[in-house]
Amino acid sequence: MKTIIAEKPSVAREIARIVGATKREEGYFEGGGYAVTWAFGHLVQLAMPDGYGIRGFVRGNLPVIPGTFTLIPRQEKTEKGYKSDSGVVSQIKIIARLFKESEQIIVATDAGREGELIFRYLYHYIGCTTPFVRLWISSLTDKAIREGLRNLEAGDKYDNLYLAAKARSESDWLVGINGTQALSIAAGHGTYSVGRVQTPTLAMVCARYWENRRFTVEPFWQLHIAADGGNGDTVKFSSSEKWKEKEPATELYNKVKEAGTATVTKAERKEKIEDTPLLYDLTTLQKEANAKHGFTAEQTLEIAQKLYEKKLITYPRTGSRYIPEDVFVEIPKLLAFIGNLPEWKDKVNPKAVPTRRSVDGGKVTDHHALLVTGEKPLFLSKEDNTVYQMIAGRMIEAFSEKCVKDTATVTAECAGAEFVVKGSVIRQVGWRAVYGEEEKEETIIPGWQEDDRLALKAASITEGKTKPKPLHTEASLLSAMETAGKEIEDDALRQALKDCGIGTPATRAAIIETLFKRGYMERCKKSLVPTEKGLALYSVVKTMLIADVAMTGEWEKELARIERGELLADTFRKEIEAYTKEITSELLSCDKLFARRDSGCKCPKCGTGSMQFYGKVVRCDNAECGLPVFRLKANRTLTDDEIKDLLTDGHTKLLKGFKSKQGKSFDAVVAFDGDYNTTFVFPERKSKATSARRRK
């Protein structure tokens, strides 16, 4: 008998059907000489510190660096601490029996770093010695599974992938456990969760927040002229310069009005070619789904995984935007399939030869770019269909012709000021026809030449205001994670730098969600706004190694080298251990940032603890309560006296100087709600009618 192990029951069910394992047993399917079983994600994990006899957060125990990591069944958190999940333990026993009774194991967990780790941790925990081979497929269609089963690969081919996954798992444990314990010990209260990727990600969100909030808005003035373009058309120029003072701008504006004409000083015309966009990888799909449809990164990943398991798209957790030659052969057939979907009627030219910009086998990692499979998308929810059609539409774009434009830039002089207008005419629509973008692209510039005099139809002056960089959205944060904070627009260059990003396409959504769950940031419409807790943590760690985005990007690069067999996992482990010792020492030394004073106020929540003043927070010293009151509220720090009013009376006096997330100032009372969270109470505004009656 052979045992096939999949990552999820739904995938196991599909494989079991194909191999004829139709008999349902407890925890597996059987038949046709196969047992087909499944994991539920990670069934086995690294033991927590108490697995090494280390209990509680004790300064003298740090750093905790196990000589050899211990594997245990996945645990769940309870009120009394962690305990093994009974369902997990039961499934492990079933898998262990099947493995030991089998002549061969076929590994069918997801074909990627984490899928490999799920199997290998389980295999080592069980102590299994049965030989195993690998099913490595990029889609779950019947055809792909059958071909994969006919071309099973040697298990040891993926040893480096496992070593990279193991190194990632152990380094996250070392940094997360030691960093969290060290910072929490330094604080002397509560738990401050930090992590190898989580904390640099939070640092990017907080740094952008402060850059946005501390930005000084400055006014500027700009001049505009409207010239006669012939045939009744008007062409609007804008001044090259923007003035910070109104007076010189107004003075020049009056001269421009009097001039009545402008002289062309330069007329440039050239062809501009816009390459087709590359196919989607997971991160690009998540970014565009967030920007265009407001989907969270996690939501997009869940939908993509669901579409994959329904056999509608290829493996979604991919970091590549290219396909190899053998997959390119299938593209004409897939494009014909998409062209028959009602959403893409008349968008695919059946006679056109697909372009090759997204074809490069050398740039394909574990999996090629996202494609639809050719299975009909039936009975999809609105959200699922949106993501499916995004992938289909991108395929049409990626294999269409380039977009070719004739561009024109005309510079004119009037009253000593320079004015510019830019325009373009699309000569070959190409890929831009897919979403009809060409309709809003054209700005026709007349065939003006140097020294032409233009009659002015109007002149105007406008006032604008400088704008800060916007707060991060999930789309912009995913971009920043992808390039370790470097701002790069070019698709190909971003792709070249992806090894230096922080996190991986498969993990970035989970990292972002972790920051929400830890209470470090929240969503405000599409923007990501750090909470007071997140800003307090950032203020402590922002200059430390634990928050260094570039260094975290270097770790990710090292993991990719392990995967390619270019770096020994032991070398990486030693580097991470040294790094762990550094950050532990650094975080333990920041107890001065958590120096405390007694407020002289009892805790309003538990009534037994005493509220202690710290730098950024006031907290109850009763360990079972630990009520926190953060000083920073809406860009204003509460004073000691204001905090004391809140603790003794349940509210402050009316306070001035708060600033909303939109940058508007407001006055409010800070008060406790029923759960002792702080909230704003706004004074009632007297209506004009009420005021008039009172005056009488």
- Just list the catalytic residues: 315
E strands along 47-85, which residues? 71-73, 75-78, 81-84
Helix (H) or strand (E) holding 59: none
Nearest to 14 by CA among 488, 373, 347, 272: 373
Cα–Cα distance, 36 to 22 (Å, whole number): 10
| Angle (nearest 5°) at CA 649 between 648 and 655 | 110
Phi and psi (nearest 5°) for 57? -100, 105
SS3 call for 318:
coil
Q: Is 271 exposed, middle or buried (0-12, 13-18, 19+ CB in 10 A)?
A: exposed
Take residue 251 and report the two structure tokens written for it.
């003075």
Q: Are 45 and 74 in contact (CB under 8 A)?
A: yes
Take residue 469 and report the two structure tokens written for it.
């960089």
Residue count of the chain = 696
Cα–Cα distance, 396 to 470 (Å, whole number): 32
Nearest to 512 by CA among 661, 298, 306, 302: 298
Residue 181 neighbours by CB distance under 10 Å? 26
SS3 call for 111:
coil
Q: Are 12 and 36 in contact (CB under 8 A)?
A: yes
Cα–Cα distance, 264 to 70 (Å, whole number): 76
Cα–Cα distance, 108 to 310 (Å, whole number): 16
Amino acid at 668: A
Take residue 418 and report the two structure tokens written for it.
């320079």
Characterise 529 by phi-psi region: left (phi > 0), alpha (psi -120 to 50), beta (else).
beta
Exposed e or buried b per residue across 287-302, where buried means at least 16 C-beta atoms within 10 angstroms of its C-beta: bbbbeeeebbbbbbbb
Cα–Cα distance, 640 to 648 (Å, whole number): 12
Q: Give the count of alpha carbons within 13 A of 593, CB side only.
A: 18
Contacts of 685 (CB under 8 A, 6+ apart): none
Quickly tell me which residue has 């599909």 as its tokens: 14
SS3 call for 150:
helix
Take residue 611 and report the two structure tokens written for it.
């509220």
Contacts of 489 (CB under 8 A, 6+ apart): none
Take residue 627 and report the two structure tokens written for it.
């009520």
